[in-house]
């Protein structure tokens, strides 16, 4: 990559915390973005296969959302509305009801939490505990639900857990679908533990899962497994919480990741792409029976990010009012699979992971995956790894990415892999 692309402005070294991260492996200073492309302050261009970790499912600066947002601001539309009724919120809720909830037969209420996924997860966990009067929540290996203390207890990642500096309580860890390979069904294990009066697992308030574990390495739960988990939750008086923060908003090919699985979660957490524009917004969908919080019992100053309501409404109306967009997603998923199959074929032992537009390749080591992504970045592609060893090269492109851009992106990715595989010693040297 050109020298000037990597020159980090001194202000970041001087004043930004060491906690910063993406900017370390991709040290450009970005300025603008359109669709699936990012530009730095020198006009260098990158194709974006990261999409704000699935927060930009509709691409950067979608023109319709952009226009609506500028209109709103220009007209002195409310920017910050606490949890007042606002016209922007009403319009979003109307659209969300009409095009998302009602067509799917979902009677859920919408709770606007503080605008982070972790906050939505915290609220969901609290609801489940309040509803059931129980403390224990079942979460899964390689699950990622955020890093605030309540959500972090449910997160599997040891590095993040270590950041707590204290014991994280209230969660029991269980093996995700496929954890035993073919040897056994992990749902059998959970069933045995919950049914065993001396199993030592306290009766759960909820079972919390992602249908595809984005940070955990694109591990996919099968519909049959999710159905079994849903039944176990029901049988044991627990709520089923599906964390659709990364896998939802079309990422898996349908609006919700679970909608073709034959289950109705008691609670759904959403964030990331729900605003459509990358603006902070999060929400909890909760069935009316479980909508037990009193006024402001879970609160937060930014729970009404009105700008996000404006763009979120446009996103729903533009992409989900009919089936056109969803139909495209299926085709794009195939395209991604084809590209990744090529990559997988290059690496002995590599495995395809994920589903929909949330796919990747487990290349066997974090070192290799990192080297590929790093090389790709030098050549104009933003792409990241995931998994417990960072061993999965993960494609999280905007859902709106044109075929041609996908093709270009995969060209860069495959070339990067070729380069890296041709010079394996370089990896070790790094």
By CB under 8 A, is residue 4 in contact with its own copies?
Answer: no
SS3 state at 121: helix
386 in Cβ contact with 217 (< 8 Å): yes
By CB under 8 A, is residue 293 in contact with its own copies?
Answer: yes
Residues 282, 302: Cα–Cα separation, whole Å? 10
Stretch 196-235 residues interacting with its own copies (CB under 8 A): 196-203, 205, 215-217
Q: Between residues 211 and 386, which has the closer beta carbon with respect to its own copies?
A: 386
Site string for its own copies, 164-203 (x = CB under 8 A): xxxxxxxxxx-x---xx--xx----x--xx--xxxxxxxx
Which tokens belong to 32?
Answer: 């603008």
Stretch 263-282 residues interacting with its own copies (CB under 8 A): 271-272, 277-280
**What minimum distance in Å lies between the beta carbon of 359 and its own copies?**
19
Stretch 337-396 residues interacting with its own copies (CB under 8 A): 387-389
Q: Between residues 109 and 234, which has the closer beta carbon with respect to its own copies?
A: 109
Q: Between residues 147 and 352, which has the closer beta carbon with respect to its own copies?
A: 147
Q: Residue 382: beta bridge partners?
A: 48
Binding residue (CB under 8 A) for its own copies from 260, 297, 334, 345: 297
Q: Between residues 277 and 319, which has the closer beta carbon with respect to its own copies?
A: 277
What is the torsional sign of CA 399, 403, 405, 406?
positive
**What minimum distance in Å lies between the beta carbon of 331 and its own copies?**
26
Number of chain residues interacting with its own copies (CB under 8 A): 154
By CB under 8 A, is residue 20 in contact with its own copies?
Answer: yes
Q: What is the DSSP letter of 184?
A: -
What are the Cα distances from residue 281, in Å, to 111, 302, 306, 404, 418?
A: 11, 9, 9, 31, 39
Stretch 124-163 residues interacting with its own copies (CB under 8 A): 125-126, 128-130, 133, 135-136, 139-144, 146-151, 153, 155-163
**What minimum distance in Å lies between the beta carbon of 344 and its own copies?**
22
**What minimum distance in Å lies between the beta carbon of 418 and its own copies?**
27
Q: Between residues 178 and 421, which has the closer beta carbon with respect to its own copies?
A: 178
Binding residue (CB under 8 A) for its own copies from 47, 58, 122, 319: 122
338 in Cβ contact with 234 (< 8 Å): no
* Contact residues for 199 (Cβ-Cβ < 8 A; gap 6+): 192, 193
Which residue, 135, 214, 131, 219, is CA-closest to 175? 219
By CB under 8 A, is residue 402 in contact with its own copies?
Answer: no
* DSSP E strands, 247-391: 267-270, 283-286, 351-355, 358-362, 381-382, 384-386
**What minimum distance in Å lies between the beta carbon of 164 and its own copies?**
6
By CB under 8 A, is residue 3 in contact with its own copies?
Answer: no
SS3 state at 199: coil
Q: Between residues 248 and 339, which has the closer beta carbon with respect to its own copies?
A: 248
Stretch 78-117 residues interacting with its own copies (CB under 8 A): 78-87, 89-90, 93-94, 96-97, 101, 109-112, 114-117
Binding residue (CB under 8 A) for its own copies from 44, 61, 326, 379: 61
What is the torsional sign of CA 83, 86, 92, 94?
positive
- Window contacting its own copies (CB under 8 A); options: 75-83, 228-236, 316-324, 335-343: 75-83
Q: Between residues 339 and 387, which has the closer beta carbon with respect to its own copies?
A: 387
Stretch 41-60 residues interacting with its own copies (CB under 8 A): 41, 50, 52-53, 55-56, 60
110 in Cβ contact with 269 (< 8 Å): no
Q: Between residues 127 and 344, which has the closer beta carbon with respect to its own copies?
A: 127
Q: Between residues 34 and 408, which has the closer beta carbon with respect to its own copies?
A: 34
What are the Cα distances from residue 427, in Å, to 28, 145, 259, 368, 384?
A: 22, 31, 42, 7, 17
Rg from Cα positions in the chain: 21
- Window contacting its own copies (CB under 8 A); options: 32-40, 225-233, 312-320, 325-333: 32-40
- DSSP β-ladder status, 239-243 and 267-270: parallel
Q: Between residues 202 and 342, which has the closer beta carbon with respect to its own copies?
A: 202
Binding residue (CB under 8 A) for its own copies from 223, 289, 299, 407: 299
* DSSP E strands, 141-243: 171-174, 206-209, 212-213, 219-220, 239-243
* Contact residues for 377 (Cβ-Cβ < 8 A; gap 6+): 1, 25, 26, 46, 383
């Amino acid at each position: 990559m050109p020298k000037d692309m990597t020159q980090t402005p001194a202000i970041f070294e001087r004043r930004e915390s060491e906690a910063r991260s993406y900017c370390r492996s991709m040290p450009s200073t970005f300025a603008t973005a359109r669709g699936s492309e990012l530009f730095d302050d020198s006009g260098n261009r990158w194709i974006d296969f990261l999409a704000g970790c699935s927060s930009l499912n509709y691409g950067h600066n979608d023109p319709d959302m952009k226009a609506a947002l500028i209109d709103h601001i220009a007209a002195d539309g409310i920017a910050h509305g606490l949890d007042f009724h606002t016209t922007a919120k009403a319009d979003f809720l109307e659209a969300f009801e009409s095009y998302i909830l009602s067509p799917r037969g979902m009677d859920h209420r919408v709770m606007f939490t503080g605008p982070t996924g972790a906050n939505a997860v915290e609220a969901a966990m609290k609801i489940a505990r309040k509803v059931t009067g129980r403390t224990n929540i079942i979460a899964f290996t390689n699950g990622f639900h955020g890093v605030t203390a309540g959500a972090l207890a449910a997160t599997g990642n040891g590095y993040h857990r270590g950041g707590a500096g204290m014991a994280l309580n209230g969660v029991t860890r269980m093996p995700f679908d496929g954890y035993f390979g073919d040897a056994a069904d992990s749902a059998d294990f959970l069933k045995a533990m919950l049914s065993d009066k001396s199993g030592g697992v306290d009766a759960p308030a909820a079972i919390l899962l992602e249908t595809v574990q984005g940070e955990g390495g694109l591990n996919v739960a099968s519909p049959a497994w999710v159905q079994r988990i849903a039944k176990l939750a029901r049988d044991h008086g627990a709520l089923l919480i599906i964390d659709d923060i990364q896998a939802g908003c079309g990422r898996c090919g349908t609006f919700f990741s679970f909608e073709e699985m034959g289950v109705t979660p008691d609670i759904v957490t959403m964030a990331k792409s729900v605003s459509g524009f990358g603006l902070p917004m999060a929400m909890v969908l909760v069935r009316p029976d479980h909508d037990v919080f009193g006024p402001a019992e879970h609160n937060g100053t930014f729970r009404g990010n009105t700008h996000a309501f404006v763009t979120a409404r446009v996103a729903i109306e533009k992409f989900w009012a009919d089936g056109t967009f969803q139909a495209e997603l299926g085709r794009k998923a195939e395209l991604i699979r084809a590209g990744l199959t090529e990559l997988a074929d290059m690496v002995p032992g590599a495995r395809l992971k994920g589903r929909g537009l949330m796919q990747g390749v487990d290349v066997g080591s974090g070192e290799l995956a990192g080297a590929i992504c790093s090389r790709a970045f030098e050549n104009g592609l933003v792409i990241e790894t995931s998994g417990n060893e960072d061993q999965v090269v993960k494609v999280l492109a905007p859902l709106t990415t044109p075929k041609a851009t996908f093709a270009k992106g995969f060209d860069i990715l495959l070339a990067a892999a070729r380069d890296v595989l041709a010079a394996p010693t370089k990896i070790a040297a790094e």
